[in-house]
Amino acid sequence: MSLLQDRATALTRKFQSLSDWEARYKLLIEWGRELPAFPEELRTEENKVRGCQSQVWLHASLDEEGRMWLRADSDALIVKGLIATLLQVYSGVTPGDILQFPPEFLKTLGFEGHLSPSRANGLHAMLKQIRHYAVAFDYLWKSKKTH
């Protein structure tokens, strides 16, 4: 099992161990509050995620070993928790691994039926942005290795 699958499974188990959606929303908010502080200099238009009703900033970087690191923030508590959920799974792995890992765990978490349409669209926009970063960094990493 891949690191991404292990992370998604652990997150899903923790989430599903809670009895109701009120407790799950509280956990999301807690995860959002645990996000590291997002630097002011990264709150730029180019780091804003399009398609989110709330303001969401997402920044990605690639380290020397080819792992992609994500940082994010939002002005809305639930949305901040949603982005924290994505970062728990996707940050610190290679872009290629991200691109090969289908985000089925989001369906298992049950967000589809429990988020407002605008929040669900925002979640998909955040995931899409992570995958865009992964495509770009995967290309950069592969071209760096061939030169």
Does the pLDDT of residue 137 top 70, yes or no?
A: yes
Which residue among the candidates 11, 49, 52, 84 is catalytic per the annotation?
52
> Where residue 108 sits, what CATH number does that domain have?
3.90.1010.10
Count of domains forming the chain: 1
Question: Cα 127 from chain centroid?
Answer: 6
- The residue behind tokens 């865009």 is 132
pLDDT per residue as tens digits for the range 63-113: 999 999 999 999 999 999 999 999 999 999 999 999 999 999 998 888 878
- What is the predicted pLDDT for the residue at 116? 86
Domain that holds residue 133: 3-146
The predicted pLDDT at position 1 comes to 57
Percent of the chain topping pLDDT 90 = 76
Whole-prediction pTM: 0.93
Extract the tokens encoding 36. Answer: 């590291």
Confidence of residue 146 (pLDDT cuts 50, 70, 90): low
Catalytic (active site) residue 118: no
Please classify residue 34 by burial: count the beta carbons closer than 10 Å to its beta carbon, then call 0-12 exposed, 13-18 middle and 19+ buried.
Answer: exposed
Query: Alpha-carbon distance 44 to 59, whole Å?
Result: 10
The residue whose two tokens read 């039926």 is 113
More confident residue, 138 or 53: 138
pLDDT of residue 147 exceeding 60, the answer is: no
